[in-house]
Amino acid sequence: MVELGLLSGSSSKYGSSKPVNVSFRIPYYTEWGQSLLVCGSEPVLGSWNIKKGLLLSPVHHGKELIWFGTISVPKGFKCDYTYYVVDEKRNVLRWEMGEKRKILLPEGIQDGEAVELHDLWQVGADSLPFRSAFKDVIFGPKLSLDIEAPPGVIRNTLDQDDSVLVHFKISCPNIEEETAIFIIGNTSKLGQWNVQNGLKLSYAGESVWHADCVLPKSDFPIRYKYCKYGNAGNFSPENGPNRDLVLDSSKTQPRYIFLSDGMKREMPWRGAGVAIPMFSVRSENDLGVGEFLDLKLVVDWAADSGFHLVQLLPINDTSVHGMWWDSYPYSSLSVFALHPLYLRVQELSESMSSDIKLEIEKAKEQLNGKDVDYEATLTTKLAIANKVFAQEKDLILNSSSFQKFFSENQDWLKPYAAFCFLRDFFETSDHSQWGRFSHFSKEKLEKLVSKDSCHYDIICFHYYIQFHLYGQLSEAADYARRKGVILKGDLPIGVDRNSVDTWVNPNLFRMNTSTGAPPDYFDKNGQNWGFPTYNWEEMSKDNYAWWRARLTQMAKYFTAYRIDHILGFFRIWELPEHAMTGLVGKFRPSIPLSQEELEREGIWDFDRLSRPYILQEYLQDKFGASWTFIASNFLNEYQKNHYEFKEDCNTQKKIASKLKSFAERSLLQDEDKIRHELFDLIQNIVLIRDTENPRNFYPRFNLEDTPSFNDLDDHSKNVLKRLYYDYYFHRQENLWRENALKTLPALLNSSDMLACGEDLGLIPSCVHPVMQELGLIGLRIQRMPSEPDLEFGIPSQYGYMTVCAPSCHDCSTLRAWWEEDEERRQRYFKNVVGSDMSPPARCVPEIAHFILRQHVEAPSMWAIFPLQDLLALKEEYTTRPAKEETINDPTNPKHYWRYRVHVTMEALIKDNELISTIKDLVRSSGRSYPAVQAEKLPSQESAAVAGTEKQKMSSSKDKVHPAASLNGVPQKEIVAVR
């Protein structure tokens, strides 16, 4: 017990009164060497200094490990507190998520009384219902509750010695109108399990309900449950076993017990959504590309189809090069500015001239192609917007709405507008070429955007465009919220090397590096995205202010977001800036192999291992009769039959540049093939030497595949294989976990959006536990199972904290995947569908229906389907070649992102047959759907829907004959929480 003097340095603070004894009680399982600690805002709990917090003691109670600790405090004491897991030196290993807890002692408490706080560890998932996606979109609009009793209010008094005052508290964010929360239990005060006589709780705000009652000690142990009870008589008890409250007879029994019982246990909420890039949407009003106001049509169709969510790709400005390769949505020019591509120019003015209106109509016809013409569309829109701006700039720029927008966004808006002006003036986004403007300063910025400058109108034009983009996207976002549909954005892992952000904040980036991914499902040679990696050490100095600003900006439009390549927040695959492929990289952060460590293992020839190992026989094998030409122009023979690259071509970028000059002089016949072979040679290394510390090394990814490795002696091979495995799969786990727990909470606490993480690729073992701890929802794609022994994921076995999908923008669509590999198709049909018959060559609607049903019935919180996969449910939407529906090819760094849906949203809204098919899938699976569409599905109809699917597939013209387990998840009684 804490001595009285620790409270204020002297026990005289209490006078002659006895302090109140406050005990903490929380069940939690720890590993060996770990302990629980409570730390809080007052000195008695360390004043948020973990080293001075209250260390708790463990006691086994049946199967539970309960942690206890006690402090002595004066009456009227108030304090915030949180639980932490610490090691033997009180270093924090993890902490509970959610809001800080509060100690509020009841008024009238007597001197020397004992108060016991019964808490449950708060994990990240506990806070998900309070994210804006649920709070403001799905649950919030249903009702508006008045606060009946604020937190801390105790309505009963304790005046009998043989009684205990128990204060119950539960969180229930999803509750219908005219419904209340009750406690029922095995005592008369709790209704003897009869809800009409149970204890009614009062609403305390923030989805918290509480009540207190005085119970005689003879009533203990108490068994109880929370339940919903509506005016119409509908009764819904919580799931799971009864809750228990036992008085500990081995110590002084408390007179007050405060129960924080967490969340009301209900059937897990599950929803569905549709994914479509903004540029892919087609409408009757757009100019060659989807526009923000088209989202209202997408939301209408989604709500009609039973979807609670619309997911987009990044929508930030990517206008770096002024060419079609700016169509890549993950290479941001600015992480704050929206892309002018998505502007609806018709809505810029109510008094548009007839000439401009005619120009818009002509543009609609010209740009209405099968795919997006990125350059023509953007050029046309900006030209039209410029004409409208010339007519109404004074009206808009002097308006109160613009002034408010400018005031709230000027921190990023002014640098963005200045950057765009300089980019166009110097005809490059490479700000190192901008002379005295290469280095950003606030003084230079203010001169550039000054009203006195001759180019002020150009600056204001960029303000004007962003103002209208903000207004149009905000209008669509507000519409989605009212319809009960979440808009889910996308947070790219990187920014373009030549961006506003690297210009303004160069200290936040490692500009001599490049970001990518090691070899994985998408690309066996790894990926090189070209973004500079982040300087996390520098970012941490202001508590990741740049990241927090990004998320705050996104939250103006979105209520959920996808964290692109969440693995990058644990560790990033870092490549030298001169690399073009993604193979020869290293993880940052990581623990390198030191020269001393290698020498102890008998490895000593570091030049041999870290330089490209090029023998004459390799050259002859790769280039045939041309090997002498290659050797004389690209290599030096430094030892008999051993070669090294010349200085002017000793990096991949230098090789590519030299090859291009040769090709221009017609000295090469197959530039691509020669480049590929030369890249193979320069990557033929076993160890990568650290450029910052030459005595540190990193094992090259897949080093066993290199001729350099295969030419080593057996001892070196065995040592390097062991060190390789340790480096990639064991050595870094604690480091990466600690890194993620520094960076990810800063993101999650920056907004109240619902966060999902794209956790595909080479997954370290620390990733999923950290995501679970932080309440981050993962991604599951059936064709990319995280289990190494599976070819196809099993949706019925996915965890709840996941988004499941049959495909995503980075891979082929469901139709294309089905049709591109006959042998794989047969394995899927046999092992997943359960049929020995030959599968249909095409992904007919019955196949699409089966696969979508597998996913919609999965336990995952979300089932999100690319629109292309949903259109595969209807034959008339499958006439386009399946390959043309692919959004991205990750193996091609110059892929043109231009896919457009071939049917307008207006037409899809009118397609009642497709909408009905999708809605039946969603509602028969037990998933929630928007309230405007909430029709109660009779159990007989649900059974009929499930039964007719087998008939559809077995009677199709392609003779599909699935097994009895057609429905993926066994049908069981599911109560949808709507």
**pLDDT at 486 (0 to 100):** 98
Report pLDDT digits (tens) over 157-177: 887 778 999 999 999 988 888
The token pair at 556 is 């103006």
Residue 137 clears pLDDT 90, i.e. is over it: yes
Q: Where are the alpha helices (DSSP H) in 263-373?
A: 295-304, 354-367
Kindly tell me the sign of the dihedral angle through the C-alpha atoms of 415, 420, 425, 429.
positive
Report pLDDT digits (tens) over 819-860: 999 999 999 999 999 998 999 999 999 999 999 999 999 999
Report pLDDT digits (tens) over 661-710: 887 777 777 888 999 999 999 999 999 999 999 999 999 999 999 999 99
What are the distances in angstroms from CA 111 to CA 18, 251, 255, 657?
5, 19, 12, 83
pLDDT higher at 970 or 91: 91
Mean of the pLDDT values across residues 96-102? 89
What would the DSSP string read from start to end of 879-915?
A: -S-GGGG----TT-TT-------SS-HHHHHH-HHHH
Identify the three-state secondary structure at position 754: strand
Domain 20-263 has CATH 2.60.40.10: yes
Contact indicator for 609, 618 with CB cutoff of 8 Å: no
CA-CA distance, 125 to 262, in Å (whole number)? Answer: 11
Q: Are strands 778-781 and 572-576 parallel, antiparallel or unpaired?
A: unpaired
Report pLDDT digits (tens) over 565-620: 999 999 999 999 999 999 999 999 999 999 999 999 999 999 999 999 999 999 99
**Position 218, amino acid:** S
Report pLDDT digits (tens) over 186-218: 999 999 999 999 999 999 988 899 999 999 999
**pLDDT at 823 (0 to 100):** 95
Residue 250 clears pLDDT 70, i.e. is over it: no
Residue 276 clears pLDDT 70, i.e. is over it: yes
Report residue 82: phi and psi, to 5°. -150, 150
Q: Are strands 163-171 and 256-263 parallel, antiparallel or unpaired?
A: parallel
**pLDDT at 520 (0 to 100):** 77
What would the DSSP string read from start to end of 627-663?
A: HHHHHHHHEEEEETTEEEE-GGGSSHHHHHHHHHHHH
Q: Which of 125-139, 317-331, 949-963 has the lowest mean pLDDT?
A: 949-963
**pLDDT at 727 (0 to 100):** 95
For CATH 2.60.40.10, the residue range(s) in the chain are 20-263
**Please, which residues bridge with residue 594 across strands?**
696
The token pair at 873 is 């449910």
**Position 838, amino acid:** S
3-state per-residue secondary structure call for 762-827: CCCCCHHHHHHHHCCEEEEECCCCCCCCCCCCCHHHCCCCEEEECCCCCCCCHHHHHHCCHHHHHH
**Please, which residues bridge with residue 184 across strands?**
225
Q: Which of 33-47, 85-99, 477-491 has the lowest mean pLDDT?
A: 85-99
Crossing angle for the helix pair 845-856 and 939-954, to the nearest 10 degrees: 140
The token pair at 345 is 């120019």
Indicate the pLDDT class of residue 932, thresholds 50, 70 and 90.
low
**pLDDT at 158 (0 to 100):** 84
CATH fold group of domain 272-511? TIM Barrel (3.20.20)
Indicate the pLDDT class of residue 140, thresholds 50, 70 and 90.
confident
**pLDDT at 874 (0 to 100):** 97
Mean of the pLDDT values across residues 26-42? 94
Neighbour tally for 553: CB within 10 Å: 19
**Please, which residues bridge with residue 213 across strands?**
166
Kindly tell me the sign of the dihedral angle through the C-alpha atoms of 632, 638, 639, 643.
negative
The token pair at 864 is 């999100």
What would the DSSP string read from start to end of 316-347?
A: B---SSSSGGGG-TTSBS-SSSBPGGG--GGG
**pLDDT at 669 (0 to 100):** 76
**Please, which residues bridge with residue 866 across strands?**
275
Mean of the pLDDT values across residues 387-395? 95
What would the DSSP string read from start to end of 373-396?
A: -HHHHHHHHHHHHHHHHHHHHHHH
Q: Where are the alpha helices (DSSP H) in 231-330?
A: 295-304
Average pLDDT, whole number, for the chain? 90
Quick one: what percent of the chain has pLDDT higher than 70? 93
Report pLDDT digits (tens) over 512-546: 999 998 887 667 788 899 999 999 999 999 999 99
Residue 947 clears pLDDT 50, i.e. is over it: no
Contact indicator for 299, 479 with CB cutoff of 8 Å: yes
**pLDDT at 936 (0 to 100):** 36
Q: Which of 317-326, 459-468, 519-528, 620-629 has the lowest mean pLDDT?
A: 519-528
Mean of the pLDDT values across residues 610-637? 94
Identify the three-state secondary structure at position 556: coil
**pLDDT at 4 (0 to 100):** 30
C-alpha closest to that of 956 among 850, 881, 821, 861: 850
C-alpha closest to that of 724 among 735, 712, 709, 742: 709
Contact indicator for 474, 546 with CB cutoff of 8 Å: no
Residue 25 clears pLDDT 60, i.e. is over it: yes
CA-CA distance, 312 to 881, in Å (whole number)? Answer: 23
**pLDDT at 110 (0 to 100):** 85
> Residues with Cβ < 8 Å from 752, sequence gap 6 or more?
130, 131, 132, 135, 555
Identify the three-state secondary structure at position 961: coil
Mean of the pLDDT values across residues 219-236? 93
CA-CA distance, 623 to 31, in Å (whole number)? Answer: 58
For CATH 3.20.20.80, the residue range(s) in the chain are 272-511
H or E element that contains 699: strand 696-699
**What is the spatial order of strands in the sheet that 114-118 belongs to?**
57-61, 64-73, 20-27, 114-118, 256-263, 163-171, 208-216, 202-205
**pLDDT at 522 (0 to 100):** 67
Crossing angle for the helix pair 545-554 and 733-748, to the nearest 10 degrees: 50
CA angle 336, 340, 342 (to 5 degrees): 105
- Cα R_g (the chain), whole angstroms: 32
CA-CA distance, 229 to 145, in Å (whole number)? Answer: 15
Mean of the pLDDT values across residues 122-151? 86
Please give the model's pTM, rounded to 2 decimal places. 0.90
The token pair at 180 is 């209340």
In angstroms, how far is the first alpha carbon of the chain from the final one? 48
Indicate the pLDDT class of residue 143, thresholds 50, 70 and 90.
low
**Please, which residues bridge with residue 1 across strands?**
none
Tokens 């189809």 label which residue? 305
Identify the three-state secondary structure at position 474: helix
- In our burial notation (b when 16+ CB lie closer than 10 A, e otherwise), range 480-516 reads bbebbbbbbbbbbbbbbbbbbbbbbbbebbbeebbbb
